[in-house]
Structure 1
Amino acid sequence: MLYSQRGSPGSWRLLLSLLILPACKNGSGQLHYSVPEEAKHGTFVGRIAQDLGLELAELVPRLFRVASKDHRELLEVNLQNGILFVNSRIDREKLCGRNTECNVHLEVILDQPLQVYHVEVEVRDINDNPPRFSRSEQRLNILESRMPDSRFPVEGASDLDIGVNAELRYKVNPNEYFDLDVKRNEGETKVLELVLKKPLDREETQEHRLLLIATDGGKPELTGTVQLLINVLDANDNAPEFDKPIYNVKMLENTPNETLVIKLNASDADEGSNKEITYFFSNLVSDDVKSKFSINSDSGEIKVKGELDYEDCNLYEINIDAVDRSTFPLTGHCKVIVKLLDVNDNSPEMAITSLFLPIKEDAPLGTVIALISVSDRDSGSNGQVTCSLTSHVPFKLMSTFKNYYSLVLDSALDRESISEYELVVTARDGGSPSLWATASLLVEVADVNDNAPVFAQPEYTVFVKENNPPGYHVFTVSAHDVDAQENALVSYSLVERRVGERALSSYVSVHAESGKVYVLQPLDHEELELLQFQVSARDSGVPPLGSNVTLQLFVLDENDNAPALLGPWQQGAGGAVSELVPRSVGAGHVVAKVRAVDADSGYNAWLSYELLPLVGVARSPFRVGQYTGEISTTHTLDEADAPRQSLLVLVKDHGEPALTTTATVLVSLVESGQVPKSYSRVSVGAGSQEAAVVDVNVYLIIAICAVSSLLVLTLLLYTAFRCSATPTEGPCKPGKPTLVCSSAVGSWSYSQQRRQRVCSGEGPPKTDLMAFSPSLPQGPNSTDTPRQPNPDWRYSASLRAGMHSSVHLEEAGILRAGPGGPDQQWPTVSSATPEPEAGEVSPPVGAGVNSNSWTFKYGPGNPKQSGPGELPDKFIIPGSPAIISIRQEPTNSQIDKSDFITFGKKEETKKKKKKKKGNKTQEKKEKGNSTTDNSDQ
């Protein structure tokens, strides 16, 4: 049955008192039950689970429990059926005293997720306390001279019950002298007085015994009795009388001692000693009142004696007797009612229960963290408490019921920013001045794996020398995770991929804990120049988070490959090459050419050639080009030169330390008529003294010359057609020359227009080659620390395959197209030829490789180059139109001249103008030699 209202008719109230009222949900969302006091253990109170809309099966998993601040043991819930029952004896009088309302407040708490319900259980009063008198006997002294209708106060009874159960009725046993009169005073308390019905006669009866009966209004009725012993006194006609029978006094609680409460004044119509009055506390005054107040018997002043506390007792009734000093004293009576006024002398009290800490940083908004209850013993506005929370925190207080608050999450948390919050909850009452209390609460934020490990930079460049020992430590990666505990525990692993035909893990490995990167096997720069891979960092959170970092492992070259001879020399056979040279050749005649390659790169592959002096030979008629490997005569041969000479050429790279190899050339000097029209160079064994001479088919040479002439004619016609077809873009039109440069990765790159034409004054078109090199970083020259290349420095696979002996174009310097061009950055002029008619320019790229070494020769009469820092604006090959070409490197070491890109033809050389007419025969021989050299190249 719903408990909805009070003040119903008596029959309805009686029915309610006999039944246990189930709950109803009021506007605030709480449940209200009622139960009579003194109910037996197990008495049904209400179906709390059903009324809250909860399923019985979820009570245990969700940790259903009932909490109460002070009365946890009174009521309990059966988790099997969800019924709230009486757990122990409930004494309303002990629980609430004489308060009209007596409620037990319960908090119903469910976890996962957290829910809090408020339940009030009203404890109904039953008539279990009979009326009680403070004494078992009351004595009254009444003069026999008192007139009928005289009144004598009698102390009433008290009932600990409330309401109807405490409404008392009084009566005395029937007698002929006294009657009982009951009145209500201003304080709604009953005043009992005995009324004298007829005069007393002491000589007839000196003592009267009456029985005063008090009956309450409960069902069933309970009674209490007290014995009234009346002594009949002789004499005294007039008793002292007060101004009024009841005095009302209001005082503040905590009034200091000796404060005057009231000064009483009674008068007596008698004379003499019968008029003198003395004031006393009545026998009806309890010891508790006597401990709080004192009375001056002579002046009638009542003063504060003890500590007054409104919260303990707010009303005191003090019965005063005024007695005259006659032989047979008469007594006057009055009552002083002292009402205490509340003072804001109690600070609020707080209790924090049900802490749900720590709270995860990803907790949703509105998550309940703690339950807070506040109270204040004061009343009225002094007992009205409000709570507040520290400002600028991601939490807030929500009022749930009366003085109950929930601390909930108001905004998102981030443990990495703030890991804990120190909250201060302040409770302040409404008094003036107000009092407050504070409570500190430390809220820890639990970590959630919401941050992935982070590397300091997304990419690292690492350098390691080739031929490293297995298991060599090259680098240590380190990632930082701002999370905590296992969420910040980082482990490292290799992001597996294929490197050619092999797995990446066969080259490198990463230590899972330290992040150290090891190279598992010796690396070879000639096979692998750059190894790019990724390392993954993963934390130990659930789910784990991770990130990757890229490592570029450059394998630095070491000089571990000696130069290797090419051409007629057999690798590793220790052979020699035989050459036939006519004695009539002049200075600068090319006898032979030594070709060599080096599998290394950079300076380690930059080859130079040196002619070793022979024992017993004072001066050799031959020299070798420092960077070209061409063996040529230093002067015109004569009879003084030995007919057979053995030349030992030392091929040396520029590594540290330098590696070398040697080539042997056997030169035989013969007369001009003895030289066959054609001969070939043959490799012989160590025991051979001469090279076998093989005849060459003359017709083959004629065919080659015919094909070459046809090719030259075709190119000339094509050039003329292009010049006439595009007059605005012809070779003789002004325009910006297009540069052909070495690319940043070491391979040749050129513009979309394959043929580049540059006009020089009024003359015919000529081809100029321009190559530029990117700037090289300047590093310390240390053999221990490898030099770090430019970050853009790379090798193309085609260049590496076609030019194993080449120095990278970054180190090769430049060729300029004209005056004012960029300066060359490497030595270009061989110092082995001091004569002005036999100059050489040779870049150090691919020393010894014919297809990649460009040699520009000048005949007699041509201007000599400016010096080692410059190159001439034009390169003229005498004898026939020269074709200077650049090609992209093939994928193997063999050079196919058909891959060349033609840039144009050179102007006619000025060599014929400077030659003497008498030396025409010698000039034809030189032209023939130059043609042979060009075919070799």
Structure 2
Amino acid sequence: MVCHWRGDLGSWRLLLSLLLLAAWKVGSGQLHYFVPKEAKHGTFVGRIAQDLGLELAELVPRLFRVASKTHGDLLEVNLQNGILFVNSRIDREELCGRSAECSIHLEVIVDRPLQVFHVDVEVKDINDNPPVFPVKEQKLFVSESRMPDSRFPLESALSSHDYFMLDVNSKNDENKLVELVLRKSLDREDAPAHNLFLTATDGGKPELTGSVHLLVTVLDVNDNAPAFEQPEYEVRIFEGPDNGTTVIRLNASDRDEGANGAISYSFNSLVAHMVIDNFSIDPNTGEIVIRGNLDFEQVNLYKIRVDATDKGHPPMAGHCTVLVRILDKNDNVPEITLTSLSLPVREDAQFGTVIALISVNDLDSRVNGQVTCSLTPHVPFKLVSTFKNYYSLVLDSALDRENVSAYELVVTARDGGSPSLWATASVSVEVADVNDNAPAFAQSEYAVFVKENNPQGCHIFTVSAGDADAQENALVSYSLVERRVGERALSSYVSVHAESGKVYALQPLDHEELELLQFQVSVRDAGVPPLGSNVTLQVFVLDENDNAPVLLAPRMGGTGGAVSELVPRLVGAGHVVAKVRAVDPDSGYNAWLSYELQPAASRTRFPFRVGLSTGEISTTRVLDEADSPRHRLLVLVKDHGEPALTATATVLVSLVESGQDPKASSRPSTGAVGPEAALVDVNVYLIIAICVVSSLLVLTLLLYTALWCSAPPTEGGCPAGQPTLVCSSAVGSWSYSQQQRQRVCSGEGPLKMDLMAFSPSLPPDLGSVDVGEQQDLNVDHGLKVSPFKFRTHKFYLWKL
């Protein structure tokens, strides 16, 4: 028996070379080409541009293109050289089946101008299939894992095949070993079975042949890993989804069968822990679901590597990557950070001074993370943007700590999301004090009333100044503004405590010596530089009744002194006999003197009386012969102090006859004296009295002029012609200067006139004076009365 192949490869190659000739033109505008079946990619078909009469440079500008209604992808034209070539393998059986004629019709189109050419490409058949004979089927099972050159014993000849070949080993005619040899590895996934035809021809003549169909079934081996539809998937999902939300359902396939094609899904062992914490995968369905909180601000991209593993032995795995991109939602409130606070801020800080640096941050992205800041209140500060989300809080207008000592500012940061989210931060800005306010007193001057004979070192007043500044700038200290008071320094009279402002009298004050002490107290704060101011204190020394009335000389030397007066008989009522004069060093109510005879009401028809306020002794009726020739009058002079002080004066009144020598009546005698002598004595006394009064007046004027001219021109000097200011005491007494005293002035303005004020409630003695005596009081002292109010009491002003 002889085994042989049923196919001539040499003749097939000859036919292929003949068919690769250039096509010939058929008619105007139509070409016809030939191409063998099973031609490979790039096989030359024809120079189509040249054959159509087109220049190569025209192909691209004129939009040269080839189109086919059914098989336009099998052939293609190279626009660089105008050659038509095979673009993909041409399978004639698939294209035309068992038809004897098979061709591909092409339309060639060019523009500018538009032209259409028709081209037919005939596909020629070649003898590439061995004859097939209907025979019995023989089955052979071969594992796809068998190695090439594996051999399988067979009987008869085998037709040509890509995977198998026959190897006939003839030892002798009776023993020929025919083996099926595996030429290359089998792939069940490409071809699960192979059909082979074996022909056996005996050596008889005529030869008898027998054929058998050999069916080779390829057994599966786990040689294919599962494969995903895509190597990489990308999923976009908004942050914060619910647990259990499906991210993606993966699908992998395995070309193997059975257990080799059963797939299980899992995360790759190299994935990060955050993937395992936030995602899970179903091993059977490949569905990835969320199991944790997805926060864009923490992680915005998850890279998940998924393995698809089959159940073969050994198992094989396929891989893919799932990119889960987290989309941002406006779920984060802006954050405000305050740094470099420069506090407190001095109230004299310049405009533009940086108070604090402010940074804002929003973990969201894009519009959701774009933050704008605002400030309330808007004055006296403002926000200045420095760089992106950085701001400076700067001073925008003047500060005044005394008006506002601290500011509560609110910085508001608002993002651009919808709805917008916002946050606030409070900034307490304290204003530091600057010594820009001097201490000030409530009044520019104070009137202080002090009773004379005060205890040494007694507290007479307290000055108090306020300073609108703070801390050491508001710490004040007091001091005296030193000056001279007459011949002595001010500090010998008063002192002031530096811290408390209490003013003390260092020695007893005497109203008769010093009625008004005017001085200034200075206050200074502890700032740098220190600021200060002054206040004026007018200390009025109030009189007390510490001086008894003094009888005026020369005719009355004092208490108990006696004076003789000659009065003619037969004088009428109201005749002034004598006048008692007295002064009181005190002032006001304490110097208001009244006169009365002692005893006042023990005598009947007593011919004399004394004026209550004038001291004039006058007759109350016409003197007659029955009256005693001599009268001893005791006049009590009393002031109105508490207690009242008194002095007494004795007046001897002698009644003389008309024409009697007055001198005779002044001497003791036993006989009568003529009226001429009495009249002479009266005239002599009157002349002497007039001379004495004139001398006293001249002496007083000289003394006043000498004192004024000798006074140094200091600030304590008083202008000429101005009386001394005397004020009422705290108990409502009245004051009146009845003698020349030392004047103490401040030198800071015109001096005041003498005044005396008394309470509306008159003393009992004053109330007993009749209208005539009250008029005498006003006329004698030259006073004018006018009412005025001082604080809550009503007083009367007596002006000289």
Cα distance, 1:450 vs. partner?
2.5
Equivalent residue, structure 2, for 1:520: 506
Equivalent residue, structure 2, for 1:264: 250
Query: What whole-Å deviation, never above 9, does each CA across 1:502-553 have from its counterpart, x for those lacking one?
Result: 3333322222222222222333333333333332222222222223333232
- 1:505 paired to 2:491: yes
Query: What one-letter code is carried by the residue in structure 2 that aligns with 1:649?
Result: V
Correspondent of 1:477 among 457, 463, 467: 463
Change (3 A) 1:466 1:681: farther
Change (3 A) 1:694 1:807: farther
- 1:843 paired to 2:788: no
Counterparts of 2:733 and 2:632, CA distance in 1:
43
Change (3 A) 1:535 1:305: same
Counterparts of 1:435 and 1:261, CA distance in 2:
29
- 1:529 paired to 2:515: yes
Equivalent residue, structure 2, for 1:299: 285
Correspondent of 1:545 among 531, 539, 556: 531
- 1:597 paired to 2:583: yes
Equivalent residue, structure 1, for 2:639: 653
Cα distance, 1:613 vs. partner?
4.1
Cα distance, 1:329 vs. partner?
6.3
- 1:401 paired to 2:366: no
Equivalent residue, structure 1, for 2:454: 468
Cα distance, 1:794 vs. partner?
8.7
Change (3 A) 1:542 1:571: farther
Correspondent of 2:607 among 584, 607, 621: 621
Query: What whole-Å deviation, never above 9, does each CA across 1:488-507 have from its counterpart, x for those lacking one?
Result: 22222223333334333332
Equivalent residue, structure 2, for 1:786: 731
Change (3 A) 1:396 1:354: same
Query: What whole-Å deviation, never above 9, does each CA across 1:649-676 have from its counterpart, x for those lacking one?
Result: 2222233322222222223333323235
Change (3 A) 1:570 1:200: farther
Query: What whole-Å deviation, never above 9, does each CA across 1:366-407 have from its counterpart, x for those lacking one?
Result: 222222333333332333333333435533322222222222
Counterparts of 2:468 and 2:561, CA distance in 1:
70
Query: What one-letter code is carried by the residue in structure 1 that aligns with 2:415?
Result: D
Cα distance, 1:697 vs. partner?
9.5
Correspondent of 1:375 among 356, 361, 369: 361
Q: Is the 8 A contact 2:303 2:322 kept in 1?
A: yes
Correspondent of 1:447 among 423, 433, 443: 433
Change (3 A) 1:380 1:200: farther
Change (3 A) 1:272 1:496: same
Counterparts of 2:295 and 2:432, CA distance in 1:
48
Counterparts of 1:564 and 1:601, CA distance in 2:
13
Change (3 A) 1:144 1:386: farther
Equivalent residue, structure 2, for 1:413: 399
Change (3 A) 1:269 1:664: closer
Query: What one-letter code is carried by the residue in structure 1 that aligns with 2:358?
Result: I
Equivalent residue, structure 2, for 1:490: 476
Counterparts of 1:697 and 1:628, CA distance in 2:
23
Query: What one-letter code is carried by the residue in structure 1 that aligns with 2:485?
Result: V
Cα distance, 1:618 vs. partner?
6.4
Change (3 A) 1:144 1:250: farther
Counterparts of 1:853 and 1:360, CA distance in 2:
63
Cα distance, 1:477 vs. partner?
1.9
Query: What one-letter code is carried by the residue in structure 1 that aligns with 2:465?
Result: A
SS at match of 1:366: coil
Change (3 A) 1:290 1:556: closer
Query: What whole-Å deviation, never above 9, does each CA across 1:397-436 have from its counterpart, x for those lacking one?
Result: 2222222222222333333333333434343433334444
Q: Counterparts in 2 of 1:26-175, with a 5 A limit?
A: none
Query: What whole-Å deviation, never above 9, does each CA across 1:64-89 have from its counterpart, x for those lacking one?
Result: xxxxxxxxxxxxxxxxxxxxxxxxxx
5+ residue gaps, structure 1: 1-142, 148-197, 203-232, 683-690, 705-745, 749-776, 814-823, 832-839, 855-887, 890-937
Change (3 A) 1:549 1:277: same
Of Structure 1 and Structure 2, the greater strand share is in 2
Counterparts of 1:369 and 1:271, CA distance in 2:
77
Change (3 A) 1:486 1:846: farther
Q: Counterparts in 2 of 1:210-225, with a 5 A limit?
A: none
Change (3 A) 1:145 1:554: farther
Counterparts of 1:235 and 1:343, CA distance in 2:
51
Cα distance, 1:486 vs. partner?
2.0
Query: What whole-Å deviation, never above 9, does each CA across 1:188-243 have from its counterpart, x for those lacking one?
Result: xxxxxxxxxx97799xxxxxxxxxxxxxxxxxxxxxxxxxxxxxx98357665543
Counterparts of 1:436 and 1:547, CA distance in 2:
53
Correspondent of 2:548 among 551, 562, 582: 562
Equivalent residue, structure 1, for 2:597: 611
Cα distance, 1:456 vs. partner?
3.0
Query: What whole-Å deviation, never above 9, does each CA across 1:7-42 have from its counterpart, x for those lacking one?
Result: xxxxxxxxxxxxxxxxxxxxxxxxxxxxxxxxxxxx
SS at match of 2:777: coil
Cα distance, 1:478 vs. partner?
1.9
Cα distance, 1:446 vs. partner?
2.1
Counterparts of 2:296 and 2:531, CA distance in 1:
64
Q: Is the 8 A contact 2:550 2:582 kept in 1?
A: yes
Q: Is the 8 A contact 1:472 1:520 kept in 2?
A: yes
Counterparts of 1:282 and 1:635, CA distance in 2:
151
Change (3 A) 1:449 1:328: closer
Cα distance, 1:594 vs. partner?
1.9
Cα distance, 1:285 vs. partner?
5.0
Counterparts of 1:270 and 1:841, CA distance in 2:
151
Q: Is the 8 A contact 2:239 2:327 kept in 1?
A: yes
Counterparts of 2:422 and 2:505, CA distance in 1:
70
Instruction: Give the number of aligned pairs.
Output: 521
Q: Is the 8 A contact 2:371 2:414 kept in 1?
A: yes
Change (3 A) 1:376 1:589: closer
SS at match of 2:446: strand
- 1:578 paired to 2:523: no
Correspondent of 1:458 among 435, 444, 450: 444
Counterparts of 1:640 and 1:386, CA distance in 2:
124
Counterparts of 2:738 and 2:569, CA distance in 1:
47
TM-score by length of 2: 0.55
Change (3 A) 1:692 1:671: closer
Counterparts of 1:667 and 1:797, CA distance in 2:
30
Counterparts of 2:521 and 2:184, CA distance in 1:
120
Q: Is the 8 A contact 2:362 2:370 kept in 1?
A: yes
Change (3 A) 1:298 1:638: closer
Change (3 A) 1:570 1:375: same
Query: What one-letter code is carried by the residue in structure 2 that aligns with 1:546?
Result: G
Q: Is the 8 A contact 1:809 1:845 kept in 2?
A: no
TM-score by length of 1: 0.48
SS at match of 1:603: helix
Change (3 A) 1:628 1:440: closer
Cα distance, 1:607 vs. partner?
2.5
Cα distance, 1:454 vs. partner?
3.0
Counterparts of 1:345 and 1:412, CA distance in 2:
41
SS at match of 1:549: strand
RMSD: 4.8
Equivalent residue, structure 2, for 1:55: none
Change (3 A) 1:631 1:812: farther
Query: What one-letter code is carried by the residue in structure 1 that aligns with 2:732?
Result: R
SS at match of 1:673: coil
Cα distance, 1:614 vs. partner?
10
Q: Which has the larger radius of gyration?
A: 2
Identity of matched residues, %: 67
SS at match of 1:543: coil
Cα distance, 1:275 vs. partner?
5.1
Counterparts of 1:794 and 1:610, CA distance in 2:
21
